[in-house]
Chains A and B, each alone.
Chain A
Amino acid sequence: MRSYEDQVAAALEALPADVRSAALDDLRAALLDGATEADLGSPAEYASHVLDAFARSTDPADGEGDVFGVPFETRGPTDPAVRSRIWAPADPHILVPRMFGLGWTINLGAVAVRLGLLRPDDWDDESLDQVDPRLLTALRYAPVAWAAAAVVIGVQTWRRGEPVPTSWDGRGRPKAWSTPSAALLNSAISAGFAAWGTRATTGDDRMIRPALGAAGASLACAMAVLTSRSAKHPDENVPVPALLAVAAAVLPGHIALPVAVALRKRGHRW
C-alpha cells in the first residue's frame, strides 16, 4: 500500500520539478504538524488543491516552448530556473528541455533516483543548507583553479611560438592550424566560465552555477592541453575522448559531492 505522500506525488507528476518538490515539502510539513487525511482530504483531493493553487503559475515561461514536440529554450543557462533542470530529483524525466536552443539535456537528479541513490523526495529546498559552507565556498571557487591551469598552459603554448591546431580529426590528429596567439583563446574561455561560475547565488544554484562554470572552464582547460600537446607534437594523435571524458565528469562530480554530504547529514546511506 503506497503512502499518502507517494499517492500525492504520483498525482502531481505532470507539474514542473521545482513546483512539485515545493508542494511535497509542504505536504511533509503538514503531516509532521499532525494533519491527517481527514484534514487534508484524500490524496486525489489534496493533489487537486495543489494543481488548483498552481494553475496560474505553471504555464510555460516566456522563452520556453516546443517545435513538433522538440522543446526549445531561449533564456539560456543565465536564468537560474533554467539551470535548475540539471538537478531536479522530484522530476522523473531524465531528458529535460536543454538550457539553450532545441533539444534535451540530462536531469542528473532523475538519473540518481533511477540508480537508487536517493528517493525523489529526499531532496528539498533546505537540503543544501546541511552542507558545510566551507565546502560550498570551495566548490564555488573551483572553476578558478581550472581557469588558472588553462591560462598557464595557454600562455606557455603561446610563448613557444609554434603554430597551434584549431581542430582535430576523429583519430585526434590536427587538421587545421592557426597562429600561436590562438592558444590564448582557450584560456580566455576558461576564465570567462570561471568568472561566471563564481558569482554569488542562492538555493540549489549554489552548487549548480559553480558546477556549470567548472564544467565549461575544465572543458576549455582540456582543449588547452590538447592544443599544447598537438602544437608540440604535430604528427602524433592526441587522446581527444579521454580528455573530454575528464571534463564531462566534472559536472556530475560537482553536483554529487555536496548532495552526498547533505544526504549523509540527514542520515541517508550515501
Chain B
Amino acid sequence: MATDRVAQLRKGVLELAILGLLRAHESYGGEIVTALAARPGLDASAGTVYPLLSRLKTSGLVDTRWAESTSGPPRKYYQLSAAGQAALTDGTQAWRGLVHALDSLLEVSE
C-alpha cells in the first residue's frame, strides 16, 4: 500500500529530521513531536519519536539534561552532541546525494 511505503520511507529519515531540528537549539520531546507534526510527511507519534530519542542518546548523537519547567513537571531536554553534529553533516550530504540520484532516476522513468 502507498501509505505503508511512505511510512517506511519516513521512518528511515526521522532520525536525521530530529538531528536537524536539534541543530538550532535544544528541545524537549513534546516540542520535537510538535515540530515534526508541523511538517507534512514527517509527522510521527510520540510512541515513535521517544524510542528514536533513546536510540540517539545511546548512540552518543544527543546529550540530555533534566530541567525544571515553569509550567509543570521537569522536562528532559535533548541537544546535539559533537558526534551528532558530525552525523547530521554526513546524513545531510548522504540525503542530498540520494535525493539527487533518485530524482534523476524517477524523471527518466516517468
Contact = CB atoms under 8 A, between A and B. Distances in A.
Nearest to B28: A33
Contact of B48 (A33, A49, A126): A49
A45 B47 CA distance: 8
Contacts of A25: 54, 76
Grouping DSSP codes into helix (H, G, I), strand (E, B) and loop, the B interface class, with mixed when no group exceeds half, is: helix
Interface in B8-60: 28-30, 33, 45-48, 50-55, 57-59
Nearest to A36: B46
A98 to B, nearest CB: 23
B52 A53 contact: yes
B47 A29 contact: no
Chain A interface residue number, banded: 20 to 34
Interface residues of B, number: 25
A32 B21 CA distance: 21
Given A26-B76, A30-B50, A39-B46, A126 B28 contact: no
Nearest to A20: B54
Nearest to B48: A49
Contacts of B59: 57
Among B52, B55, B65, the one with the most A-chain Cβ atoms within 10 Å of its Cβ is B55
Among A25, A29, A35, the one with the most B-chain Cβ atoms within 10 Å of its Cβ is A29
Given A29-B28, A30-B46, A40-B45, 9 more contacts: A19-B58, A26-B29, A27-B50, A28-B76, A39-B47, A41-B47, A45-B47, A46-B47, A49-B48
Interface of A: 18-19, 22-23, 25-30, 32-35, 39-41, 45-46, 49-50, 52-54, 57, 125-126
Interface of B: 28-30, 33, 45-48, 50-55, 57-59, 64-66, 72-76
